Structure formats: structure tokens, C-alpha cells
Structure 1
Amino acid sequence: MQPLLSNPLLLVALACGLDRLVGDPRWCPHPVVVMGWWITLLRRGAEAWAGTRAWKLRLAGGLITLVLVGGSGLAGWGVEQLAPTPLLVVALASALAGRSLEQAVLQVLKALPDSVHTVQKQPGQALQPARQALAWIVGRDTADLDAPEILRAAAETASENAVDGLFAPLFWMLLGAGIWSLNPALPGPLALAWGFKAASTLDSMLGYRRGRLRWLGTAGARLDDLLVWLPCRLVALGLPLTAGQPGHCFSLLAAALRDGAADPSPNAGVSQAAYAHAAGVQLGGCNRYGGQLTSKPLLAQGLPAPDGAAVRHMLELSRRLELVWLATAAVLAFITKTLS
């Protein structure tokens, strides 16, 4: 076995560093894009077979989920067993979205005018670059958002996608590293991380409550909710450490669970609420999706609205928490090795 492969936790740490250093290069084909191609192909076949019959669409959705998640996990397992170490590190980094999320959010902040006078004088033109940058990373309508709403949207996507795009895949990666350290022949960090990314991509593409997707996307959406559930709550528990409030870990977790309970998603509201309390801002409110007004629960109600500094603080909290997770995993690995 190659020296690095005997220390899977070091591989994960190198992947985190690579993700923070280069992010997702646009010239390199991304595994999620390949997963998206397969989802599109499988969806066409499923809809052609099932038509509008709900039970057939549910069955097809379950089969698509099984094929995509299982296939992605097996592909990751194959890379673990056959690929050289540098390629394995690159593949692991592809499952993380720390830098790409941070860059996308910062792009929105950079596009906002520095001067309130500019916004008042030319409201439409002044905010258009920020609205366009925001539209790439959120599902809500952005064409008519004012500056405070743009900042709230940036804060909410920074908090929700930190869990979906960084901490959930990192959790499964670390768990796979632990399994691999016990037996390198078993599926390890890449197999679990790519399996999770497949479920997450299914939820992103099919997890909508409209038309045929109401039934076709159920299995993928439920699996994604399940796989994100524990990482989301671990993030809420750990954020006070990175925010300089180590004595408030359990109280912040309780507040995040309480505020996020009203959200239709079992995880999105909790993750946003955790960051809202940690950063000291209020999130939630009314959003438009496809022209339809949707009311979201208020999170950390009564605190100030997020400004640019608060959004940057959220991104910094994610960077610190990533290091905390890696350090904690290293300590647990050391204790386990010492006791064995």
C-alpha cells in the first residue's frame, strides 16, 4: 500500500486543502456533471415508461436513486482501489464545495454598490450585477430584490449550502476514512462521498413538489434528507466553538432546532438558523419562486438584518469549523489507535 493510503485521514485533509486552494476548475469535468447527465437520461426513460401514473413514477424514482447512488459509490470504491494517490486526492476534493461556495457568495458582495447614494440614484442599474451573480446560486427570483434582500439571500445560501456542499460530504468522507483505516478493502472516503453527492444531485434535479417530480423525485429527496440530518446538527453543535462561544453549543443547537422546525425541509431551516444565531443576524422572510410568494420562518428573530460583514463572518465560521472537524477526527483516530 502507498504510504499516504495507510493514513486515509491525511488524504481527506489534503483534499480539503486542495478544495480551498483551487476549488472546482472549470476546465476539468466534474463528477456531479456526470451524475447530472445520468439523471437526465434515466429520467427520460422513467417518464416514458411510467407516464403520469404515480405508483410507476415512485418505483422508477426509487430505481433511479438505487442505480445512481449505488453506481457512484461503486465508482468511488474503484478509484480508491485502482487510482494513484494524487488522483484520489483530486477525486476527494471534487466532492467538496468550500471554495466554490465562498467565491460565489463573495462575488455577490463585490457586485453590490459601495455607496447607498448610488443605489438611490440608479436602483435598477446599480443592483443588477449583484442580482445576476446571486441568480447563479439561489433558486428564488432575484430580478427585483433590493440590497437588504440580496444580502439576506447571500447569507441564507452561505449557511444552507455550507452544510449541503461542504460539511455533509466531509462527514461521510471522514466516516469512510474511519472504515478504510479498519479495512482498506472496504468502501472508503471517496465511495461514501460520491454516494452522498449522487443523492444530493438527485434532490437538486428531481426533488420538487410539482408535476411528475412530485413522485419521481421522492426517493432521492428523502435519501438526501436522511444523509444530511446528522451532519447538519453537528454543524449547529460546533458553530459556537468557531464563533468564540464554546459554552453555548447545546443552547445554540436547541435554538436552531426550534427555529428551523417550521421549515418544510428537515435540514435547511436548521442550518440557516444555526448560522443566524452564531453570526447574530435574523434570516428568513418572504421569497418569490417562479413568481409565487413563499413565506419562510423567521430565524433568530429580533436580531439585526445581515450586512456584508455578517455574510463574510458566516464564511469565516465555515472555514474554522472545517478545521475543527479535521482536528476532532484526528484526535478520535489517535485515541482509537491508542486503545486498540
Structure 2
Amino acid sequence: MLVAIFLDLLIGDPKSLPHPVELMGVVINFLQELAERIAKDNKSKLFIGGIIITFIVTFLSGISGWIIERLFLFFKIENPIISSLLFAFVLSSSLASRSLNTSIYEIINLINHKDLRYDLNNIRQKLSFIVGRDVENLDENEILRASAETASENSVDGIFAPLFWMFLGTISWKLNHFMPGPLAMAWIFKASSTIDSMLGYKEGKLKWLGFTGAKLDDLMTWIPSRIVLITLPFCCIKKQSIFKTVRLAWKDGIVDSSPNSGISEAIFAYCAEVRMGGTNYYKGKQKIKPLIAKSYPIANINSVKKILSLSLRLQFAWILIIILITKLLNL
């Protein structure tokens, strides 16, 4: 597990290799088209279709991870080093630390580069790959706010939530090798997250089709987001107490329509001392998100970098905590 974390930080996701999330997306697309063709506009059938999609995708993801774990345990006996490295490489596909950092730094560098400072169309296009909001009319300030918010939210969705489920999978694996291990648990989480990102929109047919997947993702992110809320303040230097920082972040984040992402954004906002929230557009529809840490200035290049730095520090803190817990439990 720890090797997988370092592999993700060092090499990320090689673009030449197929990514598990891409395969999940193909399956979700196929099942979505099939469900919509069968259910048409019937809300009950769409809801049932959503349950079936969520079950199939999470089951296939989990069983695929479980089979790979069995292969790893089999070949580990003959060649432990190569088998462990290959398994760690596959496990690292569940983490998105390097890819998230690379994407955001690319946007920052384009904004910071004098020759390309006002090439906003190019910057907006790159931003569209990592955010769900409409980007066509965003100015430089709004691009930086979007970068800050996605860095905060995706740190939980793409790094700390998978780490949490990997850790639980590691514990269950140590107790019984036939139980789902770190890869199976991580891929189940990634499946729920991918279903939510593709179908979890509260409009049209997706309001019913994506309901189950969205709720499952909320459930699987609930504990990790709150652990981040408690642990991140230990990684930043602030004049106010850790308790006060947590309390303010909770107060601002819990009122968000998605409390998990709201809490994630809020604790990063208070630790990085940057304001978040405001008016966003999704598929042309306005959505006003509550302001978070409104006493702090709006996002700038330095505050976005600070969020990425805080995320990296917290990863190393979690690694130390995981090592400590595993030693105490003698795993």
C-alpha cells in the first residue's frame, strides 16, 4: 500500500496504459443507454435501473480487484519482489495525486506565463478536464477559484478516500486473505465515484438513474472527508487553534448541498486562507454555492499552490499514521 502511494506520487497514471476508471466509464455508458432505452421516462424503472447499474459496476470492479489480489498472492510465493511491485503499480491507479497536481500546475503556469497570460480559451479548455462546471465565460479570477475548489474537493475524492478504503482493505486482508483487500476496496470506491461523476446529476432522467450511485458515493466519502477535516489543520501553521479552524470549516461546509465536498473545500479554504464558493454554472444552469471562509481573500496562484502543498503534507501525515496503526495492531 505504501509503495503504491509513492508510485502514484512519482509516476502517476501513464497515458499509454488503459486506466481502470476508463473501463468503468465504458461499462457505465453502455448500461446507462440500455437502462434509458428500457425505462424511457418511467421514473420507477429509471430508479431501479440505477440500482442495477450501481450494483453491476461496483460488483465487477470489486471482483476484478479481488481476482488480481488472488493472482498476486499466488505469484508472490515464487517472485515476491516483482509481484509486489506490479501489484503496487496497479493499486496506485486508484490514487490521483500526481495527475491532479500536474493538471492544476499546468493551468497555473499558463496563467503565470506572460506570453500566454490572456490565452484564456486554452486555459479554460484545460480546466474543463478537471471540473464539472461551465468554463466558457470564466475570467482569470474564476479560473483560479475553480482550480482551488477542485484541488480541495478532489484531494478527498482522488486521494484520501481511496487511501481510507485501501487501509480498511489491508486490515480485512490481513485478517483473512479471502476477504476483499486494498485493491478490491479501492476499486469499489472508484466505481461509486465514477458513477456519481457520470450519472449523479439532479436533472432529467439522471435524477432517478444516478440517485443510488450518488448516495453510495456520499456514504463511502462520509468518513474520509471528516478525517481530513480533523487532520488537515495539523499540517498548516495558523494563529487560531486547531479546534476553532475545524469548527469554522464545519459550520461553512455542512450547509453545502453536498456536505462531503463542502467540508472538504471548507477545511482547505481555512487552512490555505482563501475564500471559496459563489456562483457557478452547470450546463447553462446557475447554481449559487454558499461562501466559505469569506473573511479571506479570493483565490490567487499562491493560494492554489498552498492547497496542493497542504494536500501533499497530509498524504505524508496519513502515511505515518497508517504505519503507526499497523504496527500497533501488529499487521
Amino acid at match of 2:39: A
Q: Which of 188, 199, 209 matches 1:195?
A: 188
State the secondary structure of the residue aligned to 2:290.
coil
Q: Distance in 1 between matches of 2:215 and 2:28?
A: 16
Aligned equivalent of 1:23? 12
TM superposition shift of 1:185: 2.3
Q: Distance in 2 between matches of 1:232 and 1:273?
A: 11
State the secondary structure of the residue aligned to 2:287.
strand
- Aligned CA distance change for structure 1 residues 250 and 177 (closer, same or farther; 3 Å): farther
Q: Distance in 2 between matches of 1:153 and 1:237?
A: 24
Unaligned runs of 5+ in 2: 73-82
Matched, 1:58 2:85: no
Residues 255-294 of structure 1 aligned to structure 2 (within 5 Å): 255-294=248-287
Amino acid at match of 2:18: P
- Aligned CA distance change for structure 1 residues 239 and 33 (closer, same or farther; 3 Å): same
Amino acid at match of 1:88: F
Amino acid at match of 1:148: N
TM superposition shift of 1:111: 0.9
Residues 168-183 of structure 1 aligned to structure 2 (within 5 Å): 168-183=161-176
TM superposition shift of 1:113: 4.1
Q: Which of 311, 314, 327 matches 2:304?
A: 311
Q: Distance in 2 between matches of 1:247 and 1:183?
A: 45
Give the number of aligned pairs: 321
Show CA shifts across 1:170-225 (max 9, x none).
11001111111222221110010000000000001110111111101000000000
Aligned equivalent of 2:2? 13
Q: Which of 296, 300, 309 matches 2:293?
A: 300
Aligned equivalent of 1:98? 97
TM superposition shift of 1:163: 0.5
Aligned equivalent of 2:245? 252
CA contact (8 A) 2:233 2:246 kept: no
Show CA shifts across 1:273-323 (max 9, x none).
110001011111111222222211100111111211111111011111111
Q: Which of 20, 31, 36 matches 1:47?
A: 36
Matched, 1:157 2:150: yes
TM superposition shift of 1:246: 10
Matched, 1:85 2:84: yes
Aligned equivalent of 1:229? 222
- Aligned CA distance change for structure 1 residues 41 and 251 (closer, same or farther; 3 Å): same
TM superposition shift of 1:20: 0.7
Q: Distance in 2 between matches of 1:235 and 1:128?
A: 34
Q: Distance in 1 between matches of 2:51 and 2:283?
A: 28
Q: What TM-score does the superposition give when structure 1 sets the normalisation length?
A: 0.90
Amino acid at match of 2:150: T
Unaligned runs of 5+ in 1: 1-11, 120-124
Identity of aligned residues (%): 44
- Aligned CA distance change for structure 1 residues 249 and 201 (closer, same or farther; 3 Å): same
CA contact (8 A) 1:112 1:129 kept: no
Amino acid at match of 1:317: L
